[in-house]
Structure 1
Amino acid sequence: MVPLLVPLLLAATPPAPATPAPPRLDDAVPDTFSGVERVVAVGDVHGDVDALKEVLRLAGLLDDKGHWSGGKAHLVQTGDIPDRGEKTREAFELLMRLEGEAQAAGGRVHALLGNHEVMNMLGDLRYVSPGELASFADQATGPETSGSPRGFDGHRAAYGPTGRYGQWLRRHPAVVRIDDTLFVHGGVSPEVPAKTLAELNRWVRQDLFPGNPPGGAANPQGPLWFRGYALGEEQGAGLALDEVLKRFGAKRMVMGHTTDRDGKVRTRFGGKAVFIDTGLSTGYGRHLAALELRGGKVTALYREGRVELVTPVPPPLPIAPKQTVPRGQVSP
């Protein structure tokens, strides 16, 4: 009887889950979402997972046990999770988990590519602290290279095309549109060679897959680096922004990347540009802030309370027909 049990037990064992195929440049990357009741956007994290958790709780997206509590809301993190702090991996792991929890609740988490994600994927480690680098040591696929800093080989493997974080990041866009708002790390210049978000995101992502011509991820005028709307002069930058918004069917653009040292969310061009890098991480002052878009209102969320930045403009009142005044009389 015993030999008969072995095949039965083997047949009852569920198959191992299939390993997901590595991402490809031509994979579809969702970039447009509509009918979203509430959107919360958070700027640059720079390795400070504790500040990220705190601001997500402030926005009502994270419960006391660290799980998604935002229901059908969409969270947009506008890039620059790594560098300058030592808990980058914890921040990645938090957002990776929240992606699934939010989607199960009917919401979404959009972790956009920033210039620091790309720098790490392309081997530019100038802003990686020794402690952050060492935290990747367990990701190495073999013995550490002699003479290399601790964690160097694990970091390279983890951010590579088949690494844990490299695969995850390469499945993400640089720009998304949610209802009437574009979200991006730096800013979308009118010079980008794209007429659609799909073309724009492909142009950025082609730098992250070997064998492609230079794209927009490392381009200084690409959407991960451009600062024209944050720092440009009012008239020229305003006209450029209007052109881009029209091209991509949006009414405003929300950006990180350029830190406002006073720790406040800032707007320009009548609210058509919103800047949300307030210096969230401890290295920048731990200025906790998030942006909320809901019901046409644009609101900054701080520990001290809510500050409404842009409110819906009511439609103009109808103009009464002009009355003809008979000659010789004076109009009232």
Structure 2
Amino acid sequence: MSSTFTRPLLVSMLVPLLLAAAPPPTAPASPQLEDVIPDTFSGVARVVAVGDVHGDVQALKEVLRLAGLINEKGRWSGGKTHLVQTGDIPDRGDHTREAFELLMRLEKEARAAGGRVHTLLGNHEVMNMLGDLRYVTPGELASFADQDPTPDAPGTQQGLNGHRAAYGLQGRYGRWLRTHPAVVRINDTLFVHGGVAPEVPAKTLTELNRWVKQDLFPGNPPGGATNPQGPLWFRGYALGEEESAAPALEAVLQRFGAKRMVMGHTTDRDGKIRMRCGGKAVFIDTGLSTGYGHHLAALEIRGGKLTALYKDGREELVAPTPVSGDQVSP
């Protein structure tokens, strides 16, 4: 037989053998408590921060377009801008998964363009990861049904098993969320969901983020993700007397090398970004989702100037004079 015919025959016989001998593709390594998460970024020309989403992916898309970060097709168009989403993507709305998927994709697209997307942990992310489903809507829960092939038990809500799997340590969203910090510093600004209280047992952001993550990995002592004074829950700068809040905030900012703190978590029902403590506390949860009024707003920080971005235009934010007893209803 001619070698012209034997060579293809040998190749066709060898290829299946080589494929069978090849090691199977390895799954991504599980996130670990010890993993160091980047938490400090400098030299960023433009930062945009967006508050609580609560399952409303359309509102998220609208506000990202408003800020010039995505185009009409939903693709990253923000160049080297850093986007910070300050947590509370899930709960109270049916489209949490779509919001997760959007931000997961934008993370990659922004990095490729020289920008970044920082999706921070909020208290509602942690509640879902730890099985607290008080605020999960039926439609939201059902959307996770395909994440576990095990049928839900009779009499239970559709998607219960899938939700548990999705937010678990090996789940698509649980794995992703556990690789994200609770607090980041970009240039001279701290970004966090609730607020960093003076009592947090940390001198660095790495220590602070590790304290939060302790609750998300089994076998660890209680940490900051569930602590009422932890950075996902604390409201002292939003609701406390300004006379006491201002010096406490100043001490925290000095500890972590920042000039201001940007927070979500505490909704301002008038739909406006609010400042306290001489402009060192900035609150950006304006009720973005439809359930909270659909108040589209984003904070832009560029060249040290803070600007609120609204549907009806831009508004430069001027630091207010601290006022004793300035409070906001919960």
Report deviation, 1:270: 1.2
Q: Deviations over 1:212-268 (max 9, x none)?
A: 000000000000000000001011000100000000000000000000000000000
Q: Aligned in 2, Cα 1:309/1:140: closer, same or farther, shift over 3 Å?
A: same
The alignment status of 1:214 with 2:227, answered yes or no, reads no
Which of the numbers 39, 54, 73 marks the counterpart of 1:46? 54
Q: Aligned in 2, Cα 1:153/1:12: closer, same or farther, shift over 3 Å?
A: closer
The alignment status of 1:109 with 2:117, answered yes or no, reads yes
Report deviation, 1:143: 2.6
Larger radius of gyration: 1
Residues of 2 paired with 1:195 and 1:59: CA distance?
Answer: 34
Letter in 2 for 1:6: M
Report deviation, 1:97: 0.3
User: Residue in 2 aligned with 1:223?
Assistant: 231
Which of the numbers 240, 255, 261 marks the counterpart of 1:253? 261
Residues of 2 paired with 1:108 and 1:163: CA distance?
Answer: 24
Q: Secondary structure at the match of 1:279?
A: coil
Contact 1:141 1:157 in 2 (8 A): no
User: Residue in 1 aligned with 2:11?
Assistant: 4
Residues of 2 paired with 1:181 and 1:7: CA distance?
Answer: 59
The alignment status of 1:94 with 2:102, answered yes or no, reads yes
Report deviation, 1:15: 7.8
User: Residue in 1 aligned with 2:197?
Assistant: 189
Residues of 1 paired with 2:220 and 2:154: CA distance?
Answer: 32
Map of 1:24-103 to 2, 5 A cutoff? Answer: 24-103=32-111
Give the unaligned 5+ runs of structure 2.
Answer: 1-5, 320-330
Report deviation, 1:12: 8.6
The alignment status of 1:305 with 2:316, answered yes or no, reads no
Report deviation, 1:310: 3.8
Q: Deviations over 1:138-159 (max 9, x none)?
A: 0114232333210000000000
Contact 1:297 1:310 in 2 (8 A): no
The alignment status of 1:124 with 2:132, answered yes or no, reads yes
User: Residue in 2 aligned with 1:327?
Assistant: none
The alignment status of 1:288 with 2:296, answered yes or no, reads yes
Q: Aligned in 2, Cα 1:213/1:12: closer, same or farther, shift over 3 Å?
A: closer
Residue-pair matches, total: 311
User: Residue in 1 aligned with 2:170?
Assistant: 162
Q: Deviations over 1:252-294 (max 9, x none)?
A: 0000000000000000011100000000000001000000000
Q: Secondary structure at the match of 1:221?
A: coil
Q: In percent, how many aligned pairs have the same letter?
A: 77
Give the unaligned 5+ runs of structure 1.
Answer: 312-332
Scaled by the length of structure 1, what TM-score is found?
A: 0.91
